[in-house]
């Protein structure tokens, strides 16, 4: 069974995150063998990205969502480490700017969708508008509840436009989050990441879990599936995400385009 099938959220399943173990590593342990598997996966992603760029018939959109300290930055840094910057674009979605806030919530998202031939990675995404917006009551309930259907329609449009969508929820435990915050405090190279908001948000943990469970349930289609990736172990998170991307791109049946010139007529001088 492919690793993709291990963490794919079944279509129409009502998600309960308590049923998913954030420590799960499929029985693997951190080792030289696992490091070799990761290296192979990264090489496959790189070669598939080159083929994607050459063919220019599809785009790949990778959406990363997680609770604070869940590992979105680390995943991007490790999984895309060998990919040519020419065919990959990363977009981080923060608090909307005044211009973005003056449009519908999907306006800034659609602008960042990768063009054909590219891999696009979203660090946070349109799902923030049914997560943080919901938890903090930033818009009325009847507004954010409509957004699940709007997100589904948007993702269906992308899928019909040959954008392959892979959505990852990087699943960590509350204790693991606390551990990572403490590590940041004691690491001079990571202290800059700490903010008061990180700690203030922890009291909303259960509210965020409820919000994620509904998003994972209501916005999970065959064309734009969710993967719940156990992420307490960073090395396994990187392996799982890279293999899922590689496996998906291999199944896209991409081919290099034919030369635009008659090679037999080319002459060297």
Mean pLDDT per segment of 10 residues, for the chain of length 269 residues? Answer: 92 95 96 95 95 97 97 94 86 95 97 97 98 97 98 98 98 97 89 82 96 98 96 97 96 92 77
Residue 138 forms beta bridges with which residues? none
At 232, list the tokens. 């307490």
pLDDT value at position 93? Answer: 97
Q: Where are the alpha helices (DSSP H) in 17-82?
A: 32-55, 72-79
Residue found under tokens 């392996």: 239
Q: Please state the CATH superfamily assignment of the domain spanning residues 3-172+224-252 in this structure.
A: P-loop containing nucleotide triphosphate hydrolases (3.40.50.300)
Q: How far apart are CA 184 and CA 188, in angstroms?
A: 8
- The domains of the chain are located at 3-172+224-252
Q: How far apart are CA 91 and CA 130, in angstroms?
A: 19
Q: Are the beta carbons of 131 and 215 closer than 8 angstroms? A: yes
- Cα 14 from chain centroid (whole Å): 20
pTM listed for this prediction:
0.95
State the distance between the two ends of the chain, measured CA to CA, in whole angstroms. 53
Residue found under tokens 């790189």: 46
- DSSP class of residue 124? S
């Amino acid at each position: 069974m492919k690793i993709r099938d291990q963490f794919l959220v079944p279509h129409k399943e009502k998600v309960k995150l308590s049923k998913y173990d954030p420590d799960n590593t499929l029985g693997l342990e951190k080792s030289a063998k696992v490091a070799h598997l990761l290296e192979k996966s990264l090489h496959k992603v790189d070669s598939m990205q080159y083929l994607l760029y050459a063919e220019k018939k599809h785009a790949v959109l990778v959406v990363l969502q997680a609770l604070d300290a869940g590992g979105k930055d680390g995943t991007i840094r490790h999984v895309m480490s060998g990919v040519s910057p020419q065919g990959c674009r990363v977009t981080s979605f923060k608090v909307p700017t005044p211009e973005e806030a003056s449009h519908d919530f999907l306006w800034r998202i659609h602008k960042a969708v990768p063009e054909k031939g590219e891999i696009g990675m979203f660090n946070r995404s349109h799902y923030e508008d049914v997560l943080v917006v919901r938890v903090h009551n930033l818009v009325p309930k009847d507004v954010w509840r409509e957004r699940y259907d709007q997100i589904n329609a948007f993702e269906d449009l992308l899928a019909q436009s040959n954008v392959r969508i892979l959505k990852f929820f990087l699943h960590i435990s509350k204790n693991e989050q606390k551990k990572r915050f403490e590590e940041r405090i004691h690491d001079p190279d990571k202290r800059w990441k700490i903010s008061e908001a990180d700690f203030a948000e922890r009291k909303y943990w259960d509210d965020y879990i409820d919000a994620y469970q509904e998003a994972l349930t209501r916005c999970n289609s065959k064309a734009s599936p969710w993967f719940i990736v156990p992420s307490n172990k960073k090395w396994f998170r990187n392996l799982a995400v890279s293999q899922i991307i590689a496996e998906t791109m291999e199944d896209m049946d991409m081919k290099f385009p034919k030369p635009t010139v008659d090679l037999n007529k080319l002459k060297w001088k």
